[in-house]
Amino acid sequence: MTKAFEQRSVVIIGAGPSGAIAAALLKRKGHDVLILERQRFPRFSIGESLLSHCLDFIDEAGMLDAVQAAGFQIKHGAAFACAERYTEFDFRDKFTEGFGSTYQVQRADFDKLLADQAALQGVEIRYEEEIIAADFSQASPRLQARRSDGSDYAIEADFVLDASGYGRVLPRLLDLEAPSGFPVRRAVFTHIEDRIADPDFDREKILITTHPEWRDVWYWTIPFSNGRCSLGVVASAERYQGRPDDLDACLRAFVSEAPNLRRILANAVWDTPARLIGGYSANVKALHGPGFALLGNAAEFLDPVFSSGVTIAMRSSSMAAAVLHRQLSGETADWETEFAIPLKRGVDTFRTYVEGWYDGSFQDVIYYPHAQPEIRRMISSILAGYAWDAKNPYVAEPKRRLRVLAELCANGAPA
């Protein structure tokens, strides 16, 4: 008698970085893992400037050699500019031990590389298959999948990890979505042939530019190794009022208002139509439930300003894979205390500095010209992604420490 459904141990929804890392980690522990991915790779995605902490998880998943050999743009840190002000943080000079250098990547190539590495380790990946229904009411979760030809089939699993990113599959299907608490912002972005000739421009750092008039408007410039870069602007809806409806013209208008970008990108070739993403901040009511857990952007996305999204995604994958391995091995696993609570600690640290960026307090710290080297090293660690290091005072007490530091910087005192 033919079974009405397929049976698997672990099903992961999404083959992006969080899905590929989680799948590889579980496969390396001997578990049966299936990834279902709605799209066909390679496919475009933003989130191109990796933080140093990402390499810890890429290494853990046995993918570091492949990433290092791929020719991606080396990244050593982050530079910040506003009008004539300029400062930079080198991730190799930080408080927390761990990787210093990392990469700036075109995500189509990077994500396919990680997925291919997971497949080489024995993970089965089915592309162009979409989850259209999910039932977690029984002892074993059951998913309804739809193939590209329109045919459906059912899969029963021991556990499901949702790594669907912005698709947020289980939050939608299980009514887990919750307001993010962040104001609605929009990003208009593109890829350009940058032709940057400015000798002061450092291709080994992401450049974050603050609008000279509005501190809540900022730009990213992410150079790649092939002479191109990702360029975008982030602003609230009101800052877009009165601007061209055409996205290319809109982005060019914003860039023209930033003196440093006008200079740096004077010879750029704008050869790719701009895109828009808005209302991207998201949250959920719970990070886990009977038979499932949410990874990365499928659970929560804060804001792109410090490139924390991929880091949170990979960190959540590593943590979830460890807990799930113990559970599948017959050990007791407490998803709240071993996964949700510790993951949120780092997310909340990032949240504090994102909120401080937009209210200006963290910008006062970033641009302060007389910072003490040890404090800069602590801030550099957070910017490098090490937002879970409780030995760092600015991680252990982010709100209080940032408030005090910002007050000192605003008053011109040594900080």
Q: What is residue 221's predicted lDDT score, i.e. its pLDDT? A: 98
* Chain mean pLDDT for the chain: 94
Tell whether the model's pLDDT for residue 210 goes beyond 50: yes
24 plus 153 within the same structural domain: yes
Q: What is residue 188's predicted lDDT score, i.e. its pLDDT? A: 97
285 plus 273 within the same structural domain: no
54 plus 167 within the same structural domain: yes
Q: What is the mean pLDDT of residues 207-221?
A: 97
In 163-210, at which residue ranges do the beta strands (DSSP E only) sit? 177-178, 185-193, 205-210
192 plus 257 within the same structural domain: yes
Q: Of the residues 278, 299, 315, which one is the last residue of a structural domain? A: 278
Task: Answer whether residue 201 is part of any domain.
Answer: yes
Q: How sure is the predictor about 282, in pLDDT bands with cuts at 50, 70 and 90?
A: confident
Q: What is residue 333's predicted lDDT score, i.e. its pLDDT? A: 95
Element (H, E) at 37: strand 33-37
Q: What is residue 109's predicted lDDT score, i.e. its pLDDT? A: 97
44 plus 128 within the same structural domain: yes
Q: How sure is the predictor about 283, in pLDDT bands with cuts at 50, 70 and 90?
A: confident
125 plus 262 within the same structural domain: no
Cα–chain center distance at 25: 19
How far is residue 74 from each of residues 63, 68, 105, 309, 340, measured CA to CA in Å?
Answer: 17, 9, 9, 19, 32
Task: Answer whether residue 353 is part of any domain.
Answer: no
3-state secondary structure of 22: helix
Q: Considering the chain, what percentage of its residues have pLDDT values greater than 90? A: 88
Q: What is the mean pLDDT of residues 125-149?
A: 96
Task: Answer whether residue 80 is part of any domain.
Answer: no
28 plus 50 within the same structural domain: yes
Q: Of the residues 346, 377, 399, which one is the last residue of a structural domain? A: 346
Local structure of residue 240 (DSSP, 8 states) = G
242 plus 285 within the same structural domain: no
Task: Answer whether residue 81 is part of any domain.
Answer: no
In DSSP terms, 223 is beta-bridged to 229
156 plus 59 within the same structural domain: yes
Tell whether the model's pLDDT for residue 388 goes beyond 80: yes
How far is residue 136 from each of residues 158, 190, 205, 288, 291, measured CA to CA in Å?
Answer: 11, 40, 44, 12, 7
Task: Answer whether residue 224 is part of any domain.
Answer: yes
Tell whether the model's pLDDT for residue 2 goes beyond 60: no
Per the structure, the complete domain to which residue 375 belongs is given by 360-410
70 plus 167 within the same structural domain: yes
Task: Answer whether residue 144 is part of any domain.
Answer: yes
193 plus 125 within the same structural domain: no
What are 8's two structure tokens?
């698997």
Task: Answer whether residue 59 is part of any domain.
Answer: yes
Q: What is residue 415's predicted lDDT score, i.e. its pLDDT? A: 62
CATH of the domain at 196: 3.30.9.100
Tell whether the model's pLDDT for residue 93 goes beyond 90: yes
Task: Answer whether residue 285 is part of any domain.
Answer: yes
How far is residue 271 from each of residues 31, 235, 268, measured CA to CA in Å?
Answer: 45, 23, 9
Tell me whether the omega of the peptide bond preceding residue 199 falls within 30 degrees of 0, making it cis. no
Q: How many domains does the chain have?
A: 3
CATH of the domain at 106: 3.50.50.60
56 plus 144 within the same structural domain: yes
